[in-house]
Amino acid sequence: MMQNDKKVDPQRTIVLYTSKYGAAETYARWIAEALGCRAVPLDKFSKKELRGYDTVIYGGGVQAGGIRGLEQFTKWIKGDLKLRQMAKRGTISEAEASEIGAFDRQYYIFAVGISLDSEENRLQLRDINFDKDCLRELPCFFLPGAFDPAKLAGVDKAIIKVATKMFQDKPEAQAAAEDAQVLRYFETGCDLIDRTRTTALIESVKSGAVPEEFRDTREPEPKKSFWKR
């Protein structure tokens, strides 16, 4: 277990979440309970309220590779992330970025899904959700969710139908072992929700140190020139 060498002020810590079927909400509440802070749905929160916090954790269920609500959340924090990136690249100094408040808050993301335990799927999730350079520094934790085919609402039924067909039609050579498992989950449902899986995130928040497996340590792609496509 990591050392708790950083004081986390529960009054200045918040867990925000978007949850359609309840799994991300369950995790948000557990994480908030462990940190002694509040858990609030993203749609009941506003950008200007962020100013009251030093540590902001955002989590959402995964739908077709996208973390629900993440786009909205990152819109709010992009200013900070861009300034940090400029400081990293030396466009502005760390002191300047710090003065404007770019380092005032620590951000943590968690994604809740039923197929996030493989390295390949995690990297794919990072590529889909943290596609802008400035988003790459966000740590992302992966938590196992739940799926009940009887409870599918709205367009979700249609999405699962298409996804099922895609998995079934995959040439055998490309089909991974996890694919068969996801197909089984789609058919019969699953409940993988597990409180112990929140430990890594909680410890990271408390210690201020994020283990490598929850950060994107890949080299950034070289920038494509406008002229050389």
- Residue nearer to ligand FMN on the CB measure, 62 or 134: 62
20: tokens are 């359609």
CB of 145 to ligand FMN, least distance (A): 2
Residue with tokens 């959340």: 73
Residue from 33, 38, 49, 65 in contact with ligand FMN (CB under 6 A): 65
Neighbours of 171 (CB within 10 A): 6
| 23 touches ligand FMN by CB under 6 A | yes
Q: How far is CA 2 from the centre of its chain?
A: 21
- Residue 20 in the binding site for ligand FMN (CB under 6 A): yes
Is residue 62 a contact residue for ligand FMN (CB under 6 A)?
Answer: yes
Q: Which of 150, 178, 158 is nearest to 63 (CA)?
A: 158
Which amino acid, residue 129?
N
**Spatial distance between the Cα atoms of 38 and 21, rounded to a whole number of angstroms:** 20
The site that binds ligand FMN (CB under 6 A) totals a number of residues, namely: 24
CA dist 40 and 48 (Å) reads 15
Binding mask 89-118 for ligand FMN (x = CB under 6 A): -----------------------xxxxx--
Q: What share of the chain is helix, strand, coil (3-state, %, to 5)?
A: 50, 15, 35
Write out the binding residues for ligand FMN, residues 130-149 only, by CB under 6 A.
145-147
Nearest approach, Cβ of residue 213 and ligand FMN (Å) = 17
Q: Name which of 61 and 139 has its Cβ closer to ligand FMN.
A: 61
In the complex, the residues that contact ligand FMN under the rule CB under 6 A are 19-25, 61-65, 112-116, 145-147, 152, 156, 159-160
